[in-house]
Amino acid sequence: MRIASKMKLLKGFEAEYKKRHDEIWPELKTLLKEAGIKDYSIFLDEETNDLFAYFTIEDDKKINELPAREIMKKWWDYMKDIMETNEDNSPVSSLLKEVFYLK
């Protein structure tokens, strides 16, 4: 299954966002891989500061397990100062509807 979403980066934090992801914690990377997430990419629209995230996952129900994991909560807390976030520090995220796919 392919999943795409968008998030919002706060202005002025473009380099910091990239730096933090370049230095992603090994234990977070392991968690995402254990959940079956592959081909994970995040793109930045420099005009709007919208982030576009895309990944594939075998079992999309496993995504619902991630928010309960301590390392996920720690990452969200780490990122909350540079992104639009919810009360639990998770990023404000909107799933995107697929309208075209070329195989």
Structural domains in the chain, CATH included, are 2-90 (3.30.70.100)
pTM of structure? 0.93
**Could you tell me the pLDDT band of residue 60, with boundaries at 50, 70 and 90?**
confident
Instruction: State the pLDDT at residue 76.
Output: 98
Residue 56 predicted with pLDDT over 90: yes
Question: Which three-class secondary structure state does DSSP give residue 4?
Answer: strand
Residues with a catalytic annotation lie at 21
The DSSP 8-state label assigned to residue 54 in this structure reads: E
Cα angle at 82 between 32 and 8, to 5 degrees? 75
Phi and psi angles of residue 53, each rounded to the nearest 5 degrees, phi first: -110, 140
Residue 12 predicted with pLDDT over 90: yes
In the chain, the amino acid numbered 95 is: L
Phi and psi angles of residue 89, each rounded to the nearest 5 degrees, phi first: 75, -5
